[in-house]
Amino acid sequence: MGFIRNILKSSRSQEDGNFFLQLRKILGFKPKSKSLYIKAFTHRSMNIKDEKGNPINYERLEFVGDAMISAVIAAYLYGQVPHGNEGYLTKMRSKVVSREHLNELGKELGLIELVQSRIPKSNFGNNIHGNLFEALVGAIYLDMGYKTCEKFLYQRVINPHVDIETLEGKVISYKSLLIEWCQKEKNTFDYLVYEDTGNDELKHFSVKLSINDKVVSKARATSKKKAEEKASKRAFFAFQKQITKVI
């Protein structure tokens, strides 16, 4: 551990002297294993390895954090909604731990300001915020244990953001909802996606969504997935009354 600690310590510049001061404000407690938190904010572009050649970055901590967030949220929902069956609880947990929500949490805490990377912060995609949040939670668990990790998630996620009634009305994926409705009502559906040859610098994709062989919505976005979701959202609001009766 001394070897790793020295590498991590030397890899951060003198400008990051207030790293742990900022981190402590976010955590609300003094960390024990500083190397874990430095690792939680080290991007793979730094290309740092330990004495065995293992990479030192936040990606493995993401894995741990993802599991801990799911476990704490699952236990909370189990206690709060005694009438909820497995399917209901799974859907509700998915809404809390969605990539969109985790990204919002990471942004709210300003975690990207602490990351060490050779890539300019402006070049990162939106998911960096959620990735860092997961890595931070993983570091908290490994450093301080389950109870402290649970307390942090209650303070930063559950108490300020988790409301059962609001969650019940929140849609994670309009595409999944629309497909579920179509299948229950035995409606045929088809997403016709094609590359858009517009004048944009970024490649765009367009989609036509048909239900029962009739085009009901169109959309355009920088990825096929985004275009399909956008078209699905438009279709959802066009058929909202019919869908809410069934789902």
Residues 6+ apart with CB under 8 A from 20: 31, 34, 37
Picking from 62, 27, 218, 77, the residue whose alpha carbon sits closest to that of residue 134 is 62
Contact 77, 92 (CB under 8 A): yes
Residue whose entry in the numeric block shows the structure tokens 């602490």 = 114
| Sequential DSSP letters for 30-46 | --S-HHHHHHHTB-GGG
* Residue 41 CA: distances (Å) to CA of 56, 59, 77, 79, 131: 10, 10, 30, 33, 10
End-to-end CA distance of the chain: 53
Which residues are tagged catalytic? 66, 134
